[in-house]
């Protein structure tokens, strides 16, 4: 049960990352804001219901603030640091996190279409990862139930 | 005073240093320390860093300070300037410059990419950057302000000079003073169409220069469209525009004058004769509607108002064939 809950949480975090990517996409496409500004605008649209959402929201605010204050720092570097800091406090799928953080490495495009395409690519990879994880969770969940059942039967046999 | 001056310089430095990547900061601090009233920083691939200051152009070539810019270095600066998002500055890059926080303007050259209609789509392989340090000169227009008023009306005014002399600096201060008013005249609503973001130096919508409390800025908007927009939407008493260029600009200016707005505009040219050369005979029709001409030149390294000419009468005739076609139109006030 513990295993299943943890996995479900990880899938939820991946979904949150995906949501952030989609929001960033609209910010870039319609707001034509810079990446640090996009992060801040997206943070305004995130809720404060869950621990993960709160953490990511704060991380995105920090990215914008740090880019303003610590002049000269690389966006990818700052984004990676803040997201990793937030991820350390929540249940996160390391591969999902890696894909999400990759978005900040794919920066510096002169063409808005290219920037959006790079973001879409990360979103697609994340979607695939979520599907894969859900499938694995299902399989492992069933296996865990079966093993539990077999263990129970074994104990009953031993007791008899 | 010294303390204040130093503080002001520190602020300017901080503003400038934020344009450069962290790994280059030390070098830039060294460069900036040697500048005296910095005006421009010129960065070109494979060439030494150059600055233009009060003393003129200085190349960093001596053994101690030699710094030849590499392709990687210029790319890093470009990314930093764009906030790692060049796509967000697509329109500005297309025009060859962008304005950053602090009002500094950065000119870009490199390889242009054209679209199917032959228009510039973007600039890739950035080859050179020219950082024009913003220098808002409060009080630059003190000398010309008395000539601008005709009772409570404001004269249609044209500022003329060669590029880089200080037209925009003068226009900016005129706007500020008209907007804020003074002991003799009340402030008026001024609309600014800042096509190249030079007057207000807007960064993400907020003006970086002081344009007065009654000024509305339409940033990065083509002048011809912006002038009519302002007339309809903001009812300005005065409209200020920089660098009048084509037929459309002139029509828009005439239209605004017809609506009762006063125009303060700048134009590239040494003197009014240059306008004739640039716009041909048709210039006579619209130029007659301007009442005041201010001509600037550079004396040494400082901008200087060389002449102020005022129109003598509204119905003055204009004859291009006469030896001095402007004689009937203007009376000169030597300054």
Q: Among A24, A25, A29, A34, which would you mutate to test the B interface (most chain B Cβ atoms within 10 Å of its Cβ)?
A: A34
Per-residue pLDDT of chain B (335 residues; tens, 9 = 90+): 445 555 556 666 777 888 899 889 888 988 888 888 888 999 999 999 999 988 888 888 765 668 899 999 999 999 999 989 999 988 888 888 888 877 788 999 999 888 888 888 888 889 999 998 877 888 889 989 999 998 889 999 999 988 878 898 899 999 999 999 988 899 999 999 998 888 888 877 788 889 999 999 998 889 999 999 999 999 999 999 998 887 888 889 999 999 999 999 998 887 767 777 777 766 667 777 888 989 988 776 567 888 888 876 544 555 555 555 555 555 454 44
Instruction: Return the ∠ at Cα B224 (arms to B221 and B227), rounded to 5°.
Output: 80
- pLDDT, residue B74, reads 94
Mutate which of A36, A75, A81, A110 to test chain B, going by most B C-beta atoms within 10 A? A110
Chain A neighbors of B93, CB-CB under 8 A: 110
- Cα(B34)–Cα(B321) distance, rounded to whole angstroms? 53
CA distance, residue A75 to nearest chain B CA (Å): 7
**Is A71 within 8 Å of B90 when comparing Cβ atoms?**
no
Shortest alpha-carbon distance between residue B316 and chain A (Å):
51
The pTM of this model reads 0.74
Q: How far is B308 from chain A (nearest CA, A)?
A: 44
Q: Which of B24, B28, B37, B3 is nearest to B303 (CA)?
A: B37
Nearest CA in chain A to B82: A34
The confidence score (pLDDT) of residue A31 equals 87
Give the pLDDT of residue B9. Answer: 61
Residue B335 is predicted with a pLDDT of 45
Q: What is the pLDDT of residues A60-111, one digit of tens each?
A: 999 999 998 877 888 999 999 999 999 888 888 888 899 998 888 888 888 8
Mutate to test the interface with B, among A41, A108, A117 (most CBs of B within 10 A): A108
Other Cβ atoms closer than 10 A to B28: 20
The sign of the dihedral angle between the CA atoms of A38, A39, A41, A47 is positive
B22–chain A Cβ distance below 8 A for any pair:
yes
- Position B1 scores a pLDDT of 40
* H or E stretch at B85: none
Look at residue B69 in the predicted model and tell me its pLDDT: 92
Q: How far apart are CA A61 and CA A77, in angstroms?
A: 15
Interface residue A74 vs chain B (CB under 8 A): yes
pLDDT at residue number A1: 62
Closest CA to B143 of B174, B183, B109: B174
d(CA A7, CA B309): 80
Distance (Å, rounded) from C-alpha A112 to C-alpha A119?
11
pLDDT at B322: 58
Task: Please list every residue in chain B whose beta carbon sits closer than 8 Å to the beta carbon of residue A66.
Answer: none
Mutate to test the interface with B, among A71, A80, A106 (most CBs of B within 10 A): A71
Kindly state the percentage of chain A with pLDDT values over 70. Answer: 98
> What's the pLDDT tens digit per position in A32-59?
889 999 999 999 998 887 888 899 999 9
Question: What average pLDDT score do residues A17-40 get?
Answer: 92
ipTM of predicted complex: 0.78
Residues of A in contact with B22 (CB under 8 A): 70-74
CA A137/CA A151 separation, integer angstroms: 20
- How does pLDDT run across A3-14, given as a tens digit for each residue? 677 778 888 889
Q: Is A107 within 8 Å of B84 when comparing Cβ atoms? A: yes
**Using the 8-state DSSP alphabet, how is residue B203 labeled?**
B
What does the alpha-carbon distance between residue B29 and residue B11 come to, in Å, rounded to a whole number?
Answer: 13
Chain B residue with the nearest C-alpha to that of A112: B87
Residue B136 distance to chain A (closest CA, Å) = 23
Mean pLDDT of the residues in chain A:
88
| Closest Cβ opposite residue B18 in set A38, A72, A74 | A72
CA A114 to centroid of chain Cα atoms:
22
Q: Is A37 within 8 Å of B83 when comparing Cβ atoms? A: yes
Q: Name the nearest CA neighbour of A105 among A84, A72, A77.
A: A77
Contacts of the segment A102-107: beta carbons below 8 A, 24+ positions apart: A103/A21, A103/A24, A103/A79, A104/A35, A104/A75, A104/A76, A104/A79, A104/A80, A105/A76, A107/A35, A107/A75, A107/A76, A107/B79, A107/B84, A107/B85
CB proximity list for B298: less than 8 A, separation 6 or greater: B162, B164, B165, B166, B304
Largest CA distance in chain B: 65
The shortest CB-CB distance from A108 to any of B86, B123, B204 is to B86
Q: Coil, strand or helix: which one is B119?
A: coil
- Residue A83 tokens read as 């997201």
């Amino acid at each position: 049960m513990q295993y299943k809950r943890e996995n479900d949480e990880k899938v939820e975090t991946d979904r949150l990352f995906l949501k952030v990517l989609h929001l960033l996409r609209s910010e870039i496409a319609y707001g034509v804001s810079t990446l640090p500004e996009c992060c801040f605008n997206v943070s305004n649209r995130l809720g404060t219901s869950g621990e993960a959402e709160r953490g990511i929201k704060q991380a995105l605010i920090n990215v914008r603030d740090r880019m303003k204050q610590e002049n000269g720092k690389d966006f990818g570097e700052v984004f990676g640091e803040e997201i990793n800091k937030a991820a350390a406090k929540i249940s996160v799928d390391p591969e999902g996190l890696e894909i999400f953080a990759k978005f900040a490495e794919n920066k510096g495009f002169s063409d808005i279409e290219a920037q959006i395409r790079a973001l879409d690519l990360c979103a697609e990879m994340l979607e695939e990862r979520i599907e894969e994880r859900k499938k694995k969770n299902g399989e492992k969940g069933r296996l865990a139930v079966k093993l539990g059942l077999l263990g129970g039967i074994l104990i009953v046999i031993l007791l008899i | 005073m010294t303390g204040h001056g130093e503080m002001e310089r520190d602020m300017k430095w901080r503003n400038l240093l934020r344009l450069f990547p962290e790994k280059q900061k030390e070098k830039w601090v060294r460069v900036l320390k040697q500048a005296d009233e910095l005006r421009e920083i010129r960065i070109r691939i494979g060439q030494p860093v150059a600055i233009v200051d009060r003393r003129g152009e200085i190349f960093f070539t001596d053994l101690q300070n030699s710094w030849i810019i590499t392709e990687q270095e210029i790319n890093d600066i470009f990314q930093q300037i764009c906030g790692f998002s060049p796509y967000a500055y697509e329109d500005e890059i297309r025009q060859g410059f962008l304005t950053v926080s602090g009002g500094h303007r950065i000119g870009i050259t490199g390889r242009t990419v054209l679209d199917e209609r032959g228009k510039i789509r973007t600039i890739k392989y950035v080859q050179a950057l020219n950082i024009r340090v913003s220098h808002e000169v409060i009080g630059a227009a003190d000398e010309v302000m008395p000539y601008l008023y005709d009772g409570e009306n404001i004269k249609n005014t044209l500022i003329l000079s060669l590029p880089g002399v200080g037209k925009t600096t003068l226009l900016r201060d005129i706007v500020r003073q008209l907007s804020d008013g003074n002991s003799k005249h009340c402030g008026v609503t001024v609309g600014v169409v800042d096509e190249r973001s030079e007057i207000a130096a807007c960064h993400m919508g907020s003006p970086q220069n002081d344009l007065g409390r009654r000024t509305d800025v339409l940033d990065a908007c083509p002048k011809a469209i912006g002038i009519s927009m302002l007339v309809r939407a903001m009812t300005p008493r005065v409209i200020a525009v920089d660098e009048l260029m084509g037929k459309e600009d002139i029509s828009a200016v005439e239209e605004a004058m017809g609506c009762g707005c006063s125009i303060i505009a700048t134009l590239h040219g040494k003197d009014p004769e240059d306008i004739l050369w640039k716009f041909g005979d048709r210039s006579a029709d619209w130029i007659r509607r301007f009442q005041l001409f201010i001509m600037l030149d550079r004396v040494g390294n400082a901008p200087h108002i060389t002449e102020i000419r005022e129109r003598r009468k509204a119905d003055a005739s204009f004859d291009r064939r006469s030896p001095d076609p402007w004689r009937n139109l203007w009376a000169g006030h030597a300054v």
